[in-house]
């Protein structure tokens, strides 16, 4: 069981020590965890300047020493991207060596973060179209192993905007899929949506199916945990969904090198026999 999107006290919006999440992962049957703390280069972001790379890597080594006989622990990062900060992102990634890097878009038109207030006075098209433009730009850099929470805005949509239908944006998703396939960039199934307002993963099965139909096969899975009790949450359900959609393997990483693990081999014995 892999959980490739977990936050710790090195993210501005999380206070959970790495050790607590490691204990929770072991208890949940997770065998491989990636600590992907926020790296924010957007000056308006609350996390700007918060991340401390040297302290982060030191903390990873400490939990590896304590839990490494029971849990594989990856050094990762969730790096915020938009075209206005591309230069800073490129320099940061050149300076640090990770096992795994998520590229995530959190900002929309006008440099505003996509939170509920962002939807005021905007249609879903006004929200999603510039968002997907930035996602495509992130993919085309080739800097990232996977793209986080591919349809993120649905997480923050207020009641007035909860009629999101990915079919309306399929024409924008197709070139993103093509760029991912051409550059070997995966996208993440972020399970946090299952336990939050969308009540579905980000993205859900329709987008996964279209990606498979386009010839794609590279998927990572992460819970986006900011609390120890959510480490591993929704992963078993997500594996079922991926198989139904035609995905046979999920991507795993070491030193930014990808390998594919068959989904059947990721299930605990009780799940296989069931």
**pTM of the complete model:** 0.94
Neighbours of 98 (CB within 10 A): 24
Query: Could you give the CA distance from residue 160 to residue 123 in angstroms, rounded to a whole number?
Result: 10
> Tokens standing for 146?
């996977």
pLDDT, tens digit, for every residue of 110-138?
888 999 999 999 999 999 999 999 999 99
pLDDT, tens digit, for every residue of 216-240?
999 999 999 999 999 999 999 999 9
- Maximum distance among all alpha carbons in the chain? 53
- Say if residue 80 is exposed, middle or buried (CB neighbours under 10 Å; 0-12, 13-18, 19+): buried
Question: Is domain 2-273 classified as CATH 3.20.20.140?
Answer: yes
Q: Distance from CA of residue 188 to its chain's centroid?
A: 5
Q: Nearest 5 degrees, angle CA 160-CA 163-CA 165?
A: 150
Map residue 246 onto helix, strand or coil: coil
Q: Give percent of the chain above pLDDT 90.
A: 87
Sign, CA torsion 144/245/248/242: positive
Map residue 130 onto helix, strand or coil: helix
Mean pLDDT of the chain: 93
Based on its alpha-carbon atoms, the radius of gyration of the chain, rounded to whole angstroms, reads: 18
In 3D space, the residue among 134, 114, 113 whose CA is nearest the CA of residue 124 turns out to be 114
At residue 196 the predicted structure's pLDDT band, cuts being 50, 70 and 90, is confident
In 3D space, the residue among 81, 72, 73, 42 whose CA is nearest the CA of residue 57 turns out to be 73
Q: Give percent of the chain above pLDDT 70.
A: 97
Residue 273 has pLDDT above 70, yes or no: no
């Amino acid at each position: 069981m892999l959980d490739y999107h977990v936050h710790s006290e090195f993210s501005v919006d999380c206070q959970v020590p790495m050790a607590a999440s490691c204990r929770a992962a072991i208890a949940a049957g997770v065998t491989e965890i990636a600590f992907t703390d926020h790296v924010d280069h957007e000056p308006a972001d609350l996390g700007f300047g918060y991340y401390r790379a040297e302290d982060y890597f030191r903390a990873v080594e400490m939990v590896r020493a304590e839990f490494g006989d029971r849990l594989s622990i990856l050094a990762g990062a969730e790096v915020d991207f938009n075209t206005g900060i591309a230069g800073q992102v490129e320099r940061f990634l050149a300076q640090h060596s990770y096992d795994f890097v998520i590229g995530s878009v959190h900002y929309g038109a006008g440099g505003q973060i996509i939170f509920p207030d962002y939807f005021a006075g905007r249609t879903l098209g006004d929200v999603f179209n510039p968002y997907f433009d930035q996602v495509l730009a992130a993919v085309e850099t080739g800097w990232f192993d996977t793209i986080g929470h591919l349809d993120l805005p649905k997480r923050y949509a207020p009641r007035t905007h909860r009629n999101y239908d990915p079919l309306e944006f399929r024409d924008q998703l197709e070139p993103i899929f093509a760029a991912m396939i051409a550059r070997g960039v995966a996208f993440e199934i972020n399970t946090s949506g299952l336990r939050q307002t969308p009540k579905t993963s980000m993205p859900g099965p329709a987008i996964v199916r279209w990606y498979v139909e386009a010839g794609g096969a590279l998927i990572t899975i992460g819970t986006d945990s900011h609390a120890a009790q959510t480490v591993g949450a929704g992963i078993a359900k997500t594996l079922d969904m991926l198989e139904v959609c035609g995905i046979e393997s999920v991507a795993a990483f070491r030193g930014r090198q990808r390998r594919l693990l068959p989904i059947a081999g990721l299930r605990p014995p009780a799940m296989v026999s069931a």
